[in-house]
Amino acid sequence: MTGEQVGNWRISGFREVRELGAGAQGRVVLAQHEESGFPVAVKYVSARADESTLAGLRHEAQMLAQVSSPHVARLYQLVESARGSAIVMEAVNGVSLKEILKEYGRLEPTAALTVLKGSLLGLTAAHAVGVVHRDYKPANVVVPEDGRSKLIDFGIASVAGSASRSGTPLYMAPEQWLGAEAGPSTDVYAAACVFYECVAGMRPYGAETADGLRDEHLAAPIPLDDLPEPLRPLVARGMAKDPGERHAEALEFVAHLEETARTAYGNDWEQRGVRTLATTAAALSLLFPLIAAGLPAPVAAGAGAGTALSAAGSGTAGAGTAGAGGAGAGGAGAGGASGVAQTSSGFLVKATVAKAAVVVAGATAASTVGVVAYQATRPEAATAPVVTLATLNQDHPDRVLRVQNGQYAQIKGMEDASVQAAANKALRVPLDQAINFYKYWTRTPASRAACGDGRNLLGTRVVKGLSGPTLVSVRYVPDFQRRCGEVPRYFPAFSATVDLRTGRALTADDVFQPASYDDAGMTRLWNAIPEGEEKLQVRRGYTGSGGFFNPFNRGAFHLDARRRESPPWAQPFFGDRQFDLLFTGQDIGVASDPFDLSRTAAYSFPIPYARVKDLFKPELVKLLPAS
């Protein structure tokens, strides 16, 4: 699949890799530039979204365009069409501070000081051009593998002096609660709150209601006793109720931080903090978007914050190369004839536009700040529904299991929303089956106690087969990291095939003709499997004193009441070129030739459609690829 989409709309020149998040009015995806393979993040807002949401995306682009810092995720492009809007941004390959705190609870002081300094430097760049972030929180701070944090999401940023109650209540400064003007010291307050959380392992204020949080942020004393004594003055000033008593801007906060850190932890505090952060982030590398998607990290970007796109000419003229920027993301230069625009990261973004781009200026004159190019794209032809990837991260403390990067497939772009919802529910079922199966490993108190303070980790990788127009077939391959639990010694497959006309998952009875379940039909199915080590292993496992007995029968393709934690023992999977017969692996033998019966993953037996299509129902065969 190429491009990204909200509904049927996609940005040309980019290939979607996986979905990073989605909401009612838009989504964020990881994508690659098709020509260079350079990874980016694309935030989409549907044209059906309310006008305030669309305006918010334009606003975020304007704010990002003004900020140039290695500690801020860069903006590459803003695109609008009749079908929606999108911004193309740097894909920061790291893990959010929120996830780090969720995993570890707190950071040691030098690591907390280091992550604070990095994001404060990002705020410093914003404050230098008159932009206030207004939503500094752990989820908006990302720690890459080098341990140097970056600031993301300028969705509710504003020009200094703007008044608004927008923000995250847990970290909102008193002036935000009162609807007063927000300035750089507003961000300082939020940063101090997050720093407190990093060191103390808890938020400074934890009321369960918005009114309670408002009262605490406005009047409650700062609970400094939970912090190491050397850090208390830093937090006390940063969280002062009166903006005038705080550090006036992020850079002043950085200076206070560095002085405090050197005095309390020595001149090498930052080197030690970076090492600790890098190690901490690396331990959660499965959450890194590029690693999770199997993509290589990009080559380091060149100097500058990224060059804005612009276009020249009329009709189908391409975007010209942007000129040198000022303090922002890059100034718009004269349009050229090359039809491409160069970003600072070294990849070319092609832009097919219906007319010259409109340049959106920042808060001040274009001569003093950067601008972002605004492309009005030509409507594109409607496309068929597409299969995208979503990810689940979820804790199951009752069974000491964490789902981490649990990928599953979802459908986008269907005309009938109810059918799409039913299809997506069916596509989620195999992931839920995998979770239930691996929770079964720790079903007893003794097995859970063996984990101590640890937990088992489960991730899944999506293998896509048919992707429409009528059938979608997917398989979820588990990646299970066991720390404790009673191994059931069998390992099922997790798959689903969904009919996009109804949104319903096919059962084996929808696939096979009734007569195919008899001995002759199942023997044909067994004989259709190509000879090889895996087939030989299954044959050995199903050979007793009376000889070989076929493991395939009607019961194998249906749920077994004796194994409620497991999906069916055998499952059909439909690929673009062949049928795959999925079968549960069993660890029932010794790992030595010639009778190795150890198998800790499901089998996937590829079979040409021509060899098995006569076993299928005729109405299904019509939907399958030609043999």
Whether 382 maps to a domain, the answer reads no
CA angle 39, 44, 45 (to 5 degrees): 170
Q: How far is 20 from 332, CA to CA, in rounded Å?
A: 30
Total number of domains in the chain: 3
Q: What is the mean pLDDT for each group of 10 consecutive residues in the chain (627 residues)?
A: 49 84 74 86 77 68 72 81 80 88 91 92 82 84 85 56 63 90 89 95 91 94 94 97 91 93 94 87 75 66 32 26 26 27 25 25 25 31 68 89 91 87 94 93 88 90 90 94 85 95 94 95 96 89 86 92 86 93 82 61 93 95 82
Residue pair 564/462 in contact (Cβ under 8 Å)? The answer is: no
Whether 289 maps to a domain, the answer reads no
Residues 6+ apart with CB under 8 A from 310: 319, 320, 322, 332, 333, 334, 335, 341, 357, 359, 373
E strands, 483-566, where? 490-491, 495-499, 504-505, 543-544, 547-548
pLDDT at 377: 33
Residues 6+ apart with CB under 8 A from 138: 96, 97, 98, 100, 101, 194, 197
- The number of beta carbons lying within 10 Å of the beta carbon of residue 531 is 9
In this structure, the answer to whether residues 246 and 359 fall within a common structural domain is no
Q: How far is 533 from 545, CA to CA, in rounded Å?
A: 22
pLDDT at 359: 25
Q: What is the CATH number of the domain that holds 43?
A: 3.30.200.20
Q: Which of 481, 292, 495, 483 is nearest to 405 (CA)?
A: 292
In this structure, the answer to whether residues 140 and 257 fall within a common structural domain is yes
What residue spans of 105-155 are helical by DSSP H? 109-128
pLDDT at 168: 85
Whether 300 maps to a domain, the answer reads yes
- Indicate the pairing of strand 471-481 with strand 495-499: antiparallel
Q: 346, 376, 406: which is the final residue of a domain?
A: 376
pLDDT at 323: 26
In this structure, the answer to whether residues 101 and 73 fall within a common structural domain is no
Please tell me what DSSP assigns to residue 225: G
Whether 5 maps to a domain, the answer reads no
What's phi and psi for 494, nearest 5 deg?
-130, 110
What's phi and psi for 620, nearest 5 deg?
-75, -40
In this structure, the answer to whether residues 369 and 249 fall within a common structural domain is no
Residue pair 407/477 in contact (Cβ under 8 Å)? The answer is: no
What residue spans of 201-313 are helical by DSSP H? 210-219, 232-238, 250-265, 269-283, 289-292
In this structure, the answer to whether residues 436 and 580 fall within a common structural domain is yes
Residues facing residue 407 across a β-bridge: 391
Q: How far is 296 from 262, CA to CA, in rounded Å?
A: 37
Whether 381 maps to a domain, the answer reads no
Residues 6+ apart with CB under 8 A from 240: 189, 246
Report how far apart, in Å, the C-alpha atoms of 614 and of each of 44, 131, 466, 576 are: 45, 67, 19, 18
> What is the extent of the structural domain holding 50?
14-92+296-376
Q: What is the CATH number of the domain that holds 278?
A: 1.10.510.10
pLDDT in tens, 198-245: 999 999 998 889 999 999 999 999 999 989 999 999 999 999 999 999
In this structure, the answer to whether residues 324 and 267 fall within a common structural domain is no
In this structure, the answer to whether residues 41 and 118 fall within a common structural domain is no
Residue found under tokens 């894909």: 91
In this structure, the answer to whether residues 160 and 67 fall within a common structural domain is no
In the chain, helix, strand, coil percent, each to 5? 35, 25, 40
Whether 290 maps to a domain, the answer reads no
DSSP SS3 for 474: strand
pLDDT at 9: 64
Following CA atoms 44, 49, 51, 54 in sequence, which dihedral angle do they give, to the nearest 10 degrees? 0
Residue pair 460/484 in contact (Cβ under 8 Å)? The answer is: no
Q: Catalytic one among 135, 153, 187, 580?
A: 135
pLDDT at 364: 25
Q: Which of 421, 202, 407, 376 is nearest to 292 (CA)?
A: 407
The DSSP annotation for 327-350 comes to: SSS-------SSSEEE-TTS-EEE
Two structure tokens written together for 432: 């839920």
In this structure, the answer to whether residues 479 and 616 fall within a common structural domain is yes
Q: How far is 576 from 454, CA to CA, in rounded Å?
A: 41
Q: Which amino acid is at 561?
A: A
Whether 33 maps to a domain, the answer reads yes
pLDDT at 483: 87
Q: 347, 376, 405: which is the final residue of a domain?
A: 376
DSSP SS3 for 579: strand
Q: Which amino acid is at 585?
A: G
Whether 9 maps to a domain, the answer reads no
Give the count of alpha carbons within 13 A of 344, CB side only.
25
Q: Which amino acid is at 250?
A: A
| 109 prior amide bond cis, ω within 30 | no
In this structure, the answer to whether residues 59 and 114 fall within a common structural domain is no
**Residues 268-272: contacts with CB under 8 Å, at least 24 apart:** 269/110, 269/113, 269/114, 270/110, 270/113, 270/114, 270/117, 272/110
Residues facing residue 158 across a β-bridge: 132
Q: How far is 272 from 278, CA to CA, in rounded Å?
A: 10
Residues recorded for the chain: 627
pTM equals 0.48
Residues facing residue 44 across a β-bridge: 27, 86
pLDDT at 425: 94
Q: Which of 261, 169, 264 is nearest to 208 (CA)?
A: 169
Residue pair 601/491 in contact (Cβ under 8 Å)? The answer is: yes
Residues facing residue 472 across a β-bridge: 467, 498
DSSP SS3 for 160: coil
Q: How far is 103 from 198, CA to CA, in rounded Å?
A: 12
Residue found under tokens 């300028």: 154
Residues facing residue 476 across a β-bridge: 462
Residue pair 331/324 in contact (Cβ under 8 Å)? The answer is: yes
pLDDT at 307: 34
pLDDT at 326: 27
pLDDT in tens, 44-102: 877 676 777 667 667 667 766 767 778 888 888 888 777 778 888 888 888 889 989 98
In this structure, the answer to whether residues 43 and 122 fall within a common structural domain is no
In this structure, the answer to whether residues 556 and 440 fall within a common structural domain is yes
> Is position 211 annotated as part of the catalytic site?
no
Q: How far is 447 from 452, CA to CA, in rounded Å?
A: 10
Q: 220, 251, 283: which is the final residue of a domain?
A: 283
- Indicate the pairing of strand 372-376 with strand 358-360: antiparallel
